[in-house]
Structure 1
Amino acid sequence: RAFLGTGVEFVVGIGNEAVPAMASPAAAESWLQLHVVPHLRAGARITCITVGNEVFKGNDTALQASLLPALRSVHQALGALGLQGRVNVTTAHSLDIMGVSYPPSAGAFHPSAAPHLQPFLAFLSAARAPFLINCYPYFAYKDDPARVPLEYVLFQPNAGVVDPRTRLVYDNMLYAQVDAVYAAIQAMGHTDIDVKVSETGWPSRGDPDEAGATPENAGTYIGNLLRRIEMKQGTPLRPQAPIDVYVFALFNENLKPGPASERNYGLFYPDGTPVYNVGLRGYLPPMASHEAATQVIHWFLLIATASVVFALS
């Protein structure tokens, strides 16, 4: 309700645990009637349904086999409700599905994922839906800080990396990762599918072995990314096509399992106070809860005008 009339677009997700059930057209339509249609009628701008998240990252073959039937059922149900063209359907992938990502022009999907991705890409092409990829340059830096220049992953001035096949110059890792995905899609015969970054972010805190997880680096990464997006900048491979980016995340998640970094990707603490300064509007000082909530909404509106949105999980 807080966003009605604001123009902010929403992506609504179906969790992995619910994907097998969505293979039933009746179940898919029932889910849409419950979770999507009432909000659309109220004026919310829901533009996309994601079915599952990073399904091909694990080894749950039953889940993987149910993904495409679920996507087709949700797409069919959207048609039955007269929502095709208004709401599209896709799924988000981990960058782990890439078997080759360097150089970007040699991008190729991992052999284990390729058999699933061929019919999936055909579905996206027919449905005119985007390919969503979760990209975290932070992981590359954390795993090899001695060889991965921090400036390259933080969008700071650097010498850049030249793709030896195309001679295109990349001054940041995120754009190189996106273009590698475009190359992998093209290698499977598709040039009509847009790639969108469904998650990217940088942790403000981590365990002792998590290099680079600091508030300063997090603020630099997000702030520089937002400036790039505000410029409506495309990648070297597709310079005329500004990329859409979903920043992970709006809030820190204190109960999330795993290393400390997993609980510290948020721009805000749960009470609405800022974790760090992204450099766009100056430091946001601690504030009362009502004022904090209002400020969070203002941030949503600011980012929504620049093809970026903060992801809630």
Structure 2
Amino acid sequence: MANRSIVFMAVIALFLAVLIAIPTSVHSIGVCYGRLGDNLPQPSDVVNLYKSNNIGGMRIYDPYQPTLQALGGSNIPLIVDVPNEDLQNLASDASAASDWVQNNIIAYPDVSFRYIAVGNEVIPGDSAGYVLQAMNNIQSALSANGLQGQIKVSTSVSQGVLGTSYPPSAGAFSSDASPYLGPIVNFLASNGSPLLVNVYPYLSYTGDMEDISIDYALFTSPGIVVQDGQFGYQNLFDAIVDAVYSALANAGGSNVEVVVSESGWPSAGGTAASPDNARTYNQNLINHVGQGTPKTSGRAIETYIFAMFNEDQKPAGIEQNWGLFYPNEQPVYQINFS
């Protein structure tokens, strides 16, 4: 009997070891689904395209009813944005926030809501003062429905909220952003919510091509480029994310996770924008995020690629060329999410 118990325990230990060895990156990559195009597929076709490509999450920029209906029963984890133009109303009127949650969350029990992004890149700016109160009101509405542990409330900020980003250990929020982000970081820490950050090495590279190499931006550097104390950085994505972690710690949020709510590379329309560079960046991003950054080694970085489609109603140039797919659902370049 004792031998049988030992064998049983060994089998259990082996099973647990296999579970631990399964890569954490399997569900860590999603794709942002923007709709600023006059020729895009129907939402039901878009959801099928996500499924057929094994895309592990979706971000939408407003609670568009046909998209929410199409997502029902799909089990695709979802970030849904509160549009920037709604922030003032939801901040000033708790009942409006309650109605928003009722109409856009509670009404879709078969949708796998993960985060509510209260505004996108409004800090700092004219609407920044509304963000925290709108977050509080949305959080209260979720709590009233027993969903506070299931759906997390945050806001999405650009990497431009960093006043200092080099070296990553010196990361700090700018003087313009800090007055808003300080209290928001306290909210996130109190509620176990992440900070959603749009991380674009492309923009850093094209803004400072003298000091930043394209290899560092595309994850193709053969070795360490930036040594920062005990941490060595081989790519710019990790450096930006860890600068945000440093800024969060400086703001009292050392326990706040970073979720990368947008990242990508354009395939046309501007400097270094080509299908080859876009494929290189996005495929390397998919392959990399399961490993974590030097500060978060071994912990997958939940990341959403921008964007699903080229959108022809955006300004001409790179803005129209961030898509993984053309509106006819054909790939702009080959990429593998598996």
Q: TM-score range by the shorter chain?
A: 0.7 to 0.9
- Counterparts of 1:1-313 in structure 2 under 5 Å? 1-23=69-91, 24-40=93-109, 43-57=110-124, 59-60=125-126, 63-164=127-228, 166-206=229-269, 210-229=270-289, 232-257=290-315, 259-278=316-335, 280=336
Aligned residues: 269
Q: Give the deviation of 1:196 after TM superposition.
A: 0.8
More displaced, 146-155 or 46-55?
146-155
Q: Give the deviation of 1:26 after TM superposition.
A: 0.6
**Equivalent position amino acid for 1:191 in 2:** S
Cα distance change, pair 141–162 in 1 and its aligned pair in 2 (3 A): closer
Cα deviation code 1:200-258 (max 9, x no counterpart)? 0100001xxx32101110011011111113xx21100110321000100001111112x
More displaced, 175-184 or 135-144?
135-144
Q: Give the deviation of 1:169 after TM superposition.
A: 0.7
**Equivalent position amino acid for 1:192 in 2:** N
8 Å contact from structure 1 (residues 203, 213) kept in 2: yes
Is there any run of 5+ residues in structure 2 with no aligned partner, and where? 1-68
**Equivalent position amino acid for 1:216 in 2:** D
Q: Give the deviation of 1:2 after TM superposition.
A: 4.3
Q: Give the deviation of 1:149 after TM superposition.
A: 1.3
Q: Give the deviation of 1:267 after TM superposition.
A: 0.3
Q: Give the deviation of 1:187 after TM superposition.
A: 1.0
DSSP-derived class of the 2:261 partner: strand
Q: Give the deviation of 1:161 after TM superposition.
A: 2.2
Mapped to 1, the partners of 2:104 and 2:72 lie a distance apart of: 16
Q: Give the deviation of 1:190 after TM superposition.
A: 2.1
TM-score (norm 2): 0.77
TM-score (norm 1): 0.83
Query: Structure 1 runs of 4+ off > 4 angstroms?
Result: none
Q: What is residue 288 of structure 1 aligned with on the other side?
A: none
Is there any run of 5+ residues in structure 1 with no aligned partner, and where? 281-301, 304-313
Structure exhibiting the larger radius of gyration computed from Cα positions: 2
DSSP-derived class of the 2:107 partner: helix
Q: Give the deviation of 1:118 after TM superposition.
A: 1.1
Q: Give the deviation of 1:143 after TM superposition.
A: 2.0
DSSP-derived class of the 1:99 partner: strand
Cα deviation code 1:77-128 (max 9, x no counterpart)? 0011111101111100011110000000000000111111111111111111
8 Å contact from structure 1 (residues 152, 160) kept in 2: no
Mapped to 2, the partners of 1:102 and 1:188 lie a distance apart of: 17
Cα distance change, pair 219–266 in 1 and its aligned pair in 2 (3 A): same
Mapped to 2, the partners of 1:188 and 1:233 lie a distance apart of: 26
8 Å contact from structure 1 (residues 152, 158) kept in 2: no
Cα deviation code 1:13-37 (max 9, x no counterpart)? 1110000111121101101111111
Mapped to 2, the partners of 1:47 and 1:271 lie a distance apart of: 28
Q: What is residue 19 of structure 2 aligned with on the other side?
A: none
Cα deviation code 1:116-164 (max 9, x no counterpart)? 1111111111111101110100012212334321111111142322334
Aligned sequence identity (%): 40
Higher RCO, 1 or 2 (CA under 8 Å, sep at least 6)? 2
8 Å contact from structure 1 (residues 15, 51) kept in 2: yes
Mapped to 1, the partners of 2:221 and 2:166 lie a distance apart of: 21
DSSP-derived class of the 1:199 partner: strand
